[in-house]
Amino acid sequence: MEKILVVFTGGTIGTRAAGGVLDVDADVGYLLLDEFYRRAEIAVEFETLQPLNILSENLRPAHWETLYNTLAAQDLSGYAGVIITHGTDTLPYSTAAFSYLLRGLGLPVVFVSSNASIGAANSNGVDNFVGAVRFVLNARLPGVFATFRGADRRVVVYLGTRLREADSDDRFTAERGLEFGAIVDGAFARNEDARNVTAAELFAVPRAELLREIRLTREVLCVSPYPGLDYAMFDLETRRPAAVLHRLYHSSTACVEGEEHSLVAFAERCARLGIDLYLYDCGHWTDESVYATGRALMRTGARALTGIAFEAAYAKLVVAYNQGAVAAAEYMRRNVAFEFTGSRDE
């Protein structure tokens, strides 16, 4: 009988309600497995680990360290795949991070979450888990993925670097709408969109041994523009980040007037301090006409990011600035784990 390693980390899928409050419970993961065997007639054996037990909104890169180092210490050769239970709030950040960290592992790694506690009438957690098991055993594709059942009852399979944060109604989306596929009639059906990653591309990723241990101590600062943003509030001199990821408005613009409010001035400050600044999303900079504010940002020399999900961009920066084999800027230009999806108009 084939074996799957199940790694419990907490999240809503690992919570229990008590006194009107949801919190993680170390025993709930095993309830998930009991529900799987009750509902699904699939011959599979599970082995389990629980290196974390947190609500995913409390996640930090240090928890990625713990999870990675736990996986790296295992002999994974006897497993058909790995399933990681996780909360929904930060799910896309973790699926992206492990898409980079586990590149070349050669096994399917599927993140599973839930919109409600296991046992709640509206919970999709068991369906998501069943879908992950079917994907591992049926598709047998290497890489990092996530499964999630939407309102239309489809269990969608997402590529790890193309998953976007859920909205307030627990609806996940894929970057550029590129869902990887879905579980249909118990089997995996790939999305045949020409922009989607193919099985051949996934298998073409060279196998690579995992590092025995990683450290993710160098921090990345994320900034979002809003009217009145005062960059003087960021004490970059005392608490210097390794890099800054700065969102732009939808038209690839931000404020460029007023010393304390100007992103141009902030970019100059980052440059003086030797802090790499990345601007996201710069897709409109290739338009026939560019806003004057966008043009001013182009001249700052900050690094432009486009064609990648924000969550995947942040996770990639964390990985890039905490590994020494490849220069971070060069690593950010590479399509490491199929994170780049092309231009806005494709």
Return the CATH number at 296: 3.40.50.40
Percent of the chain exceeding pLDDT 70 equals 96
Say if residue 195 is in the same domain as residue 225: no
Residues 233 and 94 in one domain: no
Residue 39 lies in a domain: yes
Q: What is the pLDDT of residue 29?
A: 79
Predicted confidence (pLDDT) at residue 334 exceeds the cutoff of 90: yes
Give the C-alpha separation, 215 to 231, whole Å: 29
Q: What per-residue confidence (pLDDT) applies to 41?
A: 87
Same domain, 102 and 249: no
Strands of the sheet containing 220-223, edge to edge, are 220-223, 243-247, 276-280, 303-305
What's the CATH code of the domain at 80?
Answer: 3.40.50.1170
More confident residue, 152 or 257: 257
Asked whether residue 56 is assigned to any structural domain, the reply reads yes
Mean pLDDT of the region 195-202:
97
Q: What is the pLDDT of residue 121?
A: 87
Handedness of CA 53, 131, 170, 15 (dihedral sign): negative
Is residue 197 domain-shared with residue 224, that is, in the same domain?
Answer: no
7 plus 132 within the same structural domain: yes
**Does residue 199 sit within a domain?**
yes
C-alpha 161/C-alpha 5 separation (Å) is 22
Is pLDDT at 294 greater than 60 in this prediction? yes
pLDDT band for position 19 (cuts 50, 70, 90): low
What's 63's DSSP letter? H
Alpha carbons 263 and 247: distance in angstroms, whole number: 11
pLDDT (0 to 100) of residue 345: 41
Give me the number of domains the chain comprises: 2
* Amino acid at site 289: S
317 belongs to a structural domain: no
- What mean pLDDT, rounded, does the chain reach? 94
Least confident window among 33-42, 55-64, 330-339: 33-42
Q: Is 10 among the domain residues? A: yes
Flag whether pLDDT at 310 surpasses 60: yes
Separation between Cα atoms, residue 49 and residue 6, nearest integer Å: 6
**Is 292's pLDDT higher than 60?**
yes
Question: Is 257 in the same domain as 113?
Answer: no
pLDDT value at 22 more than 80: no
What is the percent of the chain where pLDDT is above 90? 86
> Is 147 in a helix, a strand, or coil?
strand
pLDDT of residue 344: 42
57 and 124 housed in the same domain: yes
Strand partners, 84: 7, 111
Mean pLDDT of 232-241: 94
Range of the domain at 8: 3-204
For 120, 174, 196, 266, the CA distances from 333, given in Å and listed in that order, are 44, 21, 20, 23
* Model confidence at 45: pLDDT above 70: yes
Q: Is residue 199 located within the same domain as residue 294? A: no
pLDDT tens profile 253-263: 999 999 999 99
DSSP state of 242: S
Largest pairwise CA distance in the chain = 66
33 φ, ψ (degrees, to nearest 5) = -65, -40
Q: What is residue 14's DSSP assignment?
A: G
Q: Are residues 105 and 75 in the same domain?
A: yes
Q: Is position 342 within any domain?
A: no
Decide which of 204, 232, 258 is a domain's last residue.
204
d(CA 72, CA 337): 19
Whether residue 339 is contained in a domain is answered as no
**68 plus 143 within the same structural domain:** yes
Mean pLDDT to the nearest integer, 33-52: 93
Is residue 141 located within the same domain as residue 275? Answer: no
* Arithmetic mean of pLDDT, 75-98: 97
Residue 250 within any structural domain of the chain: yes
pLDDT at 147 over 90: yes
Span of 18-27, 109-118, 144-153, 201-210 with lowest mean pLDDT: 18-27
Q: What is the pLDDT of residue 17?
A: 67
pLDDT at position 323: 82
The pLDDT of residue 13 is 85
Statement to judge: residues 180 and 298 lie in one domain: no
Residues near 82 by Cβ (< 8 Å), separated by ≥ 6?
4, 5, 6, 7, 71, 76, 107, 108, 109, 110
